Amino acid sequence: MRVTVAPPTRGFLSHTTRERELIAHRILCRAVRSIVAARIAIATVFATHVLAVAVGIVAATSGNALAVEQRDAVVGASRSSAITIADRSGDHVQAALLDAGSNLVAGASSTVVGISVVGVYPLVAYRGWIGGIVVLDATHESRLNDPVSALYYLVTILLQLIPYSISGGLGVRLGVGAWRQIRSPSGNEWLGLPRDRLIDALCGYAVIAPLFLVASLFEFLVRV
Q: What is the pLDDT of residues 87-100, one digit of tens each?
A: 999 999 999 999 99
Whole-angstrom distance, CA of residue 223 vs CA of residue 152: 8
- Mean pLDDT for 143-150 is 94
pLDDT band at residue 12 using 50, 70 and 90 as cut-offs:
very low
More confident residue, 2 or 172: 172
Q: What is the pLDDT of residues 118-139, one digit of tens each?
A: 999 999 999 999 999 999 998 9
Mean pLDDT value across the chain: 89
pTM, two decimal places = 0.86
- Mean pLDDT for 66-78 is 93
